[in-house]
Amino acid sequence: CIASADQWQAADFVGDESVEIVHMHPDHPQLQFRLPAIRPVVLARMQRGEDAKDRLGEPRLTTVWLLPNQLRAVLVWHAMFEVADEFAADVALLCAGFEWQDRPKGPAHYVKAISERLDPEHGAEKLLDDHELLPEGLATPNELVEHFRESLGNSGVDVTRINDQLAEAEQKVDAAMLKHYGAEFANASRSAVSTAINRAGIPRPP
């Protein structure tokens, strides 16, 4: 354990505890907040021969790191699954998400999320949309990307150059797909990615 013994506790954290930090930030003599009352959901698909089973882990919030100088806290959960051997070769895939503690979505929700992301036709679109795997109302990575772009726009950073580099990289990917897989596959792939990006709300260069 990294923390000194006086920072240990016998039981796991619940995840909604109140926290008060005094005189550990240069501009804020007192910091008060609550942990976010979310919990991770970890679903493992175990494949042993022809037999496949989906199992939910039971994550425990064992560690909370407080970083008052950065106005951040890091929550660390641990979950365990019984596996066939030390290589965990029977774990076919893992799906991780978060939900509000008082609004569990149930195992069926995450089994469905896995199945949709494995769909050969529409799975790529679902992989770009994390809303189903996050608590309702929580900022998603796509929203954070938009916020980051807005911040860059006011910082003097050459956003246009970054957009040009992105467009150039996309052209290289298109050319490689056209060369190796043909026009039909390249066009279908480009269309699927564009549709997924639009549905997920990812900001695109103007």
Nearest alpha carbon to residue 3 among 13, 18, 15, 14: 13
- Residue range 43-54: average pLDDT? 87
Q: What pLDDT score does 3 carry? A: 75
Element (H, E) at 189: helix 183-200
Q: Is 116 part of a structural domain of the chain?
A: no
Q: Is 28 part of a structural domain of the chain?
A: no
Number of structural domains (the chain) is 1
Residues 156-188 pLDDT 10s: 555 566 667 667 777 777 787 777 667 776 676
pLDDT at residue 199 greater than cutoff 60: no
pLDDT at residue 61 greater than cutoff 90: yes
Average pLDDT over the chain, rounded to whole? 81
- The residue type found at 124 is A
Q: Is 73 part of a structural domain of the chain?
A: no
Tokens representing residue 11 in the block: 């039981």
Q: What pLDDT score does 183 carry? A: 78
Report d(CA 105, CA 161) in Å as an integer: 42
Q: What pLDDT score does 156 carry? A: 54
Residues 79-119 pLDDT 10s: 999 998 889 999 999 999 999 999 999 999 999 999 998 88
SS3 of residue 111 by DSSP: helix
Angle CA(38)–CA(44)–CA(48) in degrees, nearest 5?
170
Q: What does residue 8 show for φ and ψ, rounded to 5 degrees?
A: -85, 160
Q: Is 38 part of a structural domain of the chain?
A: no
Q: What pLDDT score does 108 carry? A: 93
- State the greatest distance between any 2 C-alpha atoms of the chain, in Å, as a whole number: 64
Percentage of the chain beyond pLDDT 90 is 38
- Greater confidence (139 vs 47) lies with 47
Q: Is 4 part of a structural domain of the chain?
A: no
Domain, as residue range, for 206:
139-206
Q: Is 197 part of a structural domain of the chain?
A: yes
Q: Against a cut of 0.75, is the pTM above it?
A: no
Burial 91-130 (b: 16+ CB within 10 A, else e): eeeebebbbeeeeebeeeebeebbeebeeeeeeebbebbb
Element (H, E) at 77: strand 72-78
Q: Is 194 part of a structural domain of the chain?
A: yes
Spatial CB neighbours of 71, under 8 Å, sequence gap ≥ 6: 25, 28, 31
Q: Is 145 part of a structural domain of the chain?
A: yes
